[in-house]
Structure 1
């Protein structure tokens, strides 16, 4: 059954804050092959003017994955997650992310489309720091493959 296009424009309440930890940044940096000490060593990061270990820009896909759980598991949306593939992701950064940040993500459904029998779900998350300032906007597209 196709997704309901009227779900576009819907926003979900923010989930619990995501605590950015040094070790998570290090693990992510290693996974994507980044060896710059700013991503691994707080002393090196501070020597470069950062307050703590610097997260790679694409690190935001980690809290995004947690935040989108409420969307993909929403029975009202009716997404067949067994048939979902990740289509696209992009980041608009307002400021760097550092170890110690507490990030809150508010997820929006920007569009629901059904080209060629597949469903495309376009999501956007507004990422804010603990003080409410904007950190980034993360965009993600998911496709539910046609049967």
Structure 2
């Protein structure tokens, strides 16, 4: 069943994450960061940071900081076995660092289909703020849903 455009504007959830040194080091390792500024406090301070900086793509992880980060999709009737991460982009306001508490609030901004409904696209916009409510980054993500042939025929 196609996703109704009535869901445009719907919030998909708010998650909060305290950024720790260990989380940043693990993320840097997992993403192949070789710059010591992301893993070594002395290197970060030598580069002018007050603490370990948050790598640019880390903000995607904030949205996943919940026991079931895909509940909003299943609530829309989406079979998670048909989901692909289609696209991600970020806009940055300032650098976040270890010790910051980041809050991500996401909402659906577009729903559309291609290939006669065989592919549906959900676009979400996520605002990421720090513990003071100041903007840190914005993320726009596109989720692609494959629809079985019998649904679109």
TM-score normalised by the chain length of structure 1: 0.90
How big is each residue's C-alpha offset from its partner over 1:97-133, in whole Å with a ceiling of 9 and x where there is no partner? 2111101111110001121222100011100001000
Deviating runs (4+, > 6 A) in structure 1? Answer: none
Question: What does residue range 105-124 of structure 1 map to in structure 2 within 5 Å?
Answer: 105-116=104-115, 117=117, 118-124=119-125
Point out where structure 2 has 5 or more consecutive residues left out of the alignment: 149-153
Gaps of 5+ in 1: none
Match of 2:151 in 1: none
More strand by share: 2
Residue 133 (structure 2) aligns with: 132
In 2, distance between residues paired with 1:14 and 1:86?
19
SS class of match (1:114): strand
Q: Is the 8 A contact 1:64 1:138 kept in 2?
A: no
**Pairing 1:44-123 to 2, within 5 Å after superposition:** 44-66=43-65, 69-73=70-74, 75=75, 77-116=76-115, 117=117, 118-123=119-124
What's the counterpart of residue 147 of structure 2? 146
Q: String of CA shifts for 1:5-34, please: whole Å, max 9, x gaps.
A: 11112224523x211111121122122221
| Structure label with greater radius of gyration | 2
User: RMSD over aligned Cα, in angstroms?
Assistant: 1.6
| TM-score for the superposition, normalised by structure 2 | 0.86
Which stretch of structure 1 is more off in the superposition, 88-97 or 6-15?
A: 6-15
Secondary structure, aligned partner of 2:64: helix
* Structure 2 Cα separation of the partners of residues 28 and 7 of structure 1: 32
